[in-house]
Structure formats: C-alpha cells, structure tokens
Structure 1
Amino acid sequence: MSVRKRKPQPVKAAKAHSRRTHQAKPKARPAIKPAKAAVAVPQVKDRASPSKQEAVLALLQRAKGATIPQITEATGWQPHSVRGFLSGVVKKKLKLKVESRKDGSDRTYRIKGRASS
C-alpha cells in the first residue's frame, strides 16, 4: 500500500495585530469617587400635561376604548411600541385586563371593567 503525501499548503500571511494590543493600558481608577453634587434636587413634573403613559391609560379607559392609530397620534410612538406598551406595561406590570375587539380594519383596545363615560 502506498501512502500519499499531502501537498504542502501555501503559507498564509500573518494577520496584522489589532490596534488594541498596541494601546497603552488604562490607568487605575481611584478607589473612591467624589460626589457629583452635594444635594440632589428632585425634579418636579409639570402636572398640567399628563405623561404619555397616563394619556394612553386615559384613552384605554374610555367606554369605546382606543385604536392603535389613535394611541400613536396621542403619544408619537410607533405602532410596535404601542403594542409592546400594552403587553409589557399595561398587562404585565400594571396587571390590568385589556379587552381587544376587531372593528372593521382596526382593532380596539380598552381596559376591561374600568369604563369611565
């Protein structure tokens, strides 16, 4: 039986070292960081305008509910963000029951059991 010898492979060019290996190592940080401000000033929200979350919840609490286009218009969010808000915040975090029904081409959402005229 004859054993075939492998052909010698061409030598590959060595890869250039990354720039990171040639950079100087960062200096050690001090153990204690100085405080940025002595006293934190609490931010006061302007209660004249509701937050976007409050606006969406108000729309959902109406007797007829709200559609995704209505919510996107009120908040400026994208439709996928509205659906994520309904699922993640309203259903999971706030533990509210959201009722959904199909009306023509749009789906109407409302908070179940909390209809306020």
Structure 2
Amino acid sequence: MTTATKTSAKARNRRMARMPADHGNNNEKIGAKKPAAGIAKAAAKPSETPKKPAKIELVLIMLRRAEGATLDQMVEATGWLPHTTRAALTGLKKKGHVISSEKMDGVRTYHVAASSNA
C-alpha cells in the first residue's frame, strides 16, 4: 500500500525559512541582518556611571574582609539561594582561591586565606 500526497489547486506556496518576505527585492542579501539603531549610539557614548561589580566579585570582597562572611550574609548580598552560594564558593576554589571556614557559636564563617590569582 503506497501513500500518495494530495495536490490541489488551493495548495499554498511554501517558502524556505531564510527566504525574505519580498521575493522581488534583490537589493538585500538573503539572511542579512540590519544593525539595530541604538547599538551604534550606545557604543560611541562613554558610560557615565561605573559598572556595578559582579555578584561573584561581591562575594570575594566579602570573603576578604577581616571578619569574613557567613552564608546568610552572602545570600542576602547576592540574592542567590544557599546552594547556589555554596556552588559559587566551589567555583572560586576551582579558580585557585583558597577558602577556609570555621564554625564559631554554631555559625560557619568563610574567609579567603590566599589565592594564586592575586
């Protein structure tokens, strides 16, 4: 048993995904993208405000303090969940930072002891 496709006079013309809507316009290349208008202006204008530090940099700053940082302090500062914050500490260890922790009065405090990236 073979299946045949039905063709009818009302069959719609199919276009390829990259074909432009106007088939007769040969002035534009198929698939060429136009640059966004705001990109050139934003790139030419120097930023007036300094960039806010990344969250991982904020965690490093907190860990470099003399008192270090608790997990709750890092969670509050970054807005991350506790397991994400612990994963970020693991990522810092993989990047060469030596992170130590101590538990005083039932609260664990983390410190950056040294780093090879200093």
| TM bucket, shorter chain | 0.5 to 0.7
Note if 1:29 corresponds to 2:17. yes
> Counterparts of 2:109 and 2:31 in 1: how far apart (Å)?
52
2:106 counterpart residue number: 105
User: C-alpha offsets along residues 30-86 of structure 1, whole Å, 9 cap, x if unaligned?
Assistant: 285322527665595942632222211100011221110011111111111100111
> Counterparts of 1:99 and 1:54 in 2: how far apart (Å)?
17
TM-score normalized with structure 1 length: 0.58
Q: Out of 81, 89, 94, which is 1:78 matched to?
A: 81
Aligned length: 87
Q: CA deviation at 1:108?
A: 1.0
Which stretches of structure 1, 4 residues or longer, exceed 3 Å deviation after superposition?
38-46
TM-score normalized with structure 2 length: 0.58
Unaligned stretches of 5+ residues in structure 2: 1-13, 20-29
Aligned Cα root-mean-square deviation (Å): 2.9
Unaligned stretches of 5+ residues in structure 1: 1-25
